[in-house]
Amino acid sequence: MAGKVPETILKKRRRNDEWAAKQAAAAAEAAKKAKANRQLAFKKAQAYATEYLKQVRSSMSCGGTAAAVDVVLFLCSRRRR
């Protein structure tokens, strides 16, 4: 014997559903923004490593050590997570 559901309960359910949809949309937007920020940070780090490698190579031609290049190559070759 199912009775009628009070109007206030129906409004509350609808309000909760709308709130959940807004939260899901906000979470998706935040995830997209975080991904873009991570990609930008990786590109900046990669550009820095490339520039550093160029400097090390130029200093090697002036009498630097090969060990410094090995460290830079290791840092540049690490895989992105």
Each residue's pLDDT expressed in tens, for the chain with a length of 81 residues = 468 999 999 999 999 999 999 999 999 999 999 999 999 999 999 999 889 888 877 776 655 555 556 666 666 666 555
| Local structure of residue 26 (DSSP, 8 states) | H
Sequence-ordered list of residues with C-beta below 8 angstroms from that of 64, at least 6 positions apart, any chain? 56
CA pair distance 26, 51, nearest whole angstrom: 37
Predicted pLDDT at 13: 96
- Return the residue matching tokens 């895989």: 79
Predicted pLDDT at 14: 97
